[in-house]
Amino acid sequence: MSAAHIGYAAMLEQFGPIEVTEYSALAEQHGFTGTMAADHFQPWVPQQGNAPFVWNVLTAIGERTGTDLGPGVTCPSFRMHPAMVAQASATLAAMYPDRHWLGLGSGEALNEHIVGGYWPEAPTRVAMMFEAIEVINKLFTGKDVKHAGKYFTLETTRLWTVPATPPPIYIAAAGPYTSRKTGELADGIITPGAAHSKVSGVFENFAAGARKAGKDPDTMPKILQLHLSWAPTDEEALANAVTEWPNGGMKFPKQDIRSPFDFEQMAKLVRPEDFEGRMVISSDPDVHRASIQAFLDLGVDRVYLHNVGRNQAEWIEVFGREVLPKLTR
């Protein structure tokens, strides 16, 4: 038994760059052991109100903290060519050795459609992400490389600023195929909080992919991003969920919706019962502790917590005192 690795999920949809950096530093002071920063060009709903550039914010967080940090997650396929993602990540890893990890995903129209062009269906987006990883890994070598693939072209070049050790690549995955390919091609997996049976299935597919590639899945990080709502009363916790994070109660795929204002209209249909089984909403820290511990017992190595309310400082202090010290791996 050992202390659990519980990080802070810095939600750039909700807070400006200075404010979210302050919260990340405060979280470390209260026992959180890492920061996952959301990469968004737009918030989910206008009420959330922010979307600073994740790489600037991660740099500021790196200066103010001493633990791990990475984007949770960035898409290397539309807004940013994989070469640019590789350069941004390599620079951050050079600045903060052995602290930075690169979290990648296949993208959402909300953030990626802004540069125009055709928005493909999910299988194509996943294929683009895995090809992008090939480009990124080539550049992480620091050697002259090139790439001519189905989706991306890289003419002969190199990264001129590279860390002594490339950052590990963790992929956001929740489906069977993506989970297996993540095990084959990445260094670890990021998955959202879900029913325990679903999370276990994701990990099983991830392990199968890793073993296929000759890797030991037990040595590869299994990371969970967990949304929750805590406030001093149950009523406040529920109000925070409905007002600040209605997307957590939307029981449908969201990757093809382009506008925060469309999400705002959908949010009017969200009811309190829609959060059941999707997000713990409670004023009792022990209820949250039990939920987090259950995921750790499933084999999760790291959990990054997002409290959906604006009450970040209060929540950080309460969880740092009453929840984090009781969690074990």
pLDDT string in tens for the chain (329-residue length)? 788 999 999 999 999 999 999 999 999 999 999 999 999 999 999 999 999 999 999 999 999 999 999 999 999 999 999 999 999 999 999 999 999 999 999 999 999 999 999 999 999 999 999 999 999 999 999 999 999 999 999 999 999 999 999 999 999 999 999 999 999 999 999 999 999 999 999 999 999 999 999 999 999 999 999 999 999 999 999 999 999 999 999 988 899 999 999 999 999 999 999 999 899 999 999 999 999 999 999 999 999 999 999 999 999 999 999 999 999 98
Q: Say which CATH topology domain 5-326 has.
A: TIM Barrel (3.20.20)
User: Do the beta carbons of residue 5 and residue 301 sit within 8 Å?
Assistant: yes
C-alpha gyration radius of the chain: 19
The reported pLDDT for the residue numbered 2 is 80
- Write the Ramachandran bin of 98: left for phi over 0, alpha for psi from -120 to 50, otherwise beta: left
Domain ranges of the chain: 5-326
Sign for the pseudo-dihedral over CA of 131, 213, 223, 139: negative
pLDDT of amino acid 252: 87
In sign, the C-alpha dihedral spanning 82, 84, 89, 93 is positive
Residue 210 amino acid letter? A
Active site residue ranges: 40, 108
d(CA 188, CA 179): 10
Helices 122-140 and 82-95: crossing angle in degrees, nearest 10, is: 50
Given this model, what pLDDT does residue 3 score? 84
Label residue 307 exposed, middle or buried (CB < 10 Å: 0-12, 13-18, 19+).
buried
pLDDT at 1: 77
Reading the block at residue 214, the tokens are 């000759």
Whether the Cβ atoms of residue 108 and residue 255 lie closer than 8 Å to each other: yes
Report how far Cα 285 is from the mean position of its chain's Cα atoms. 23
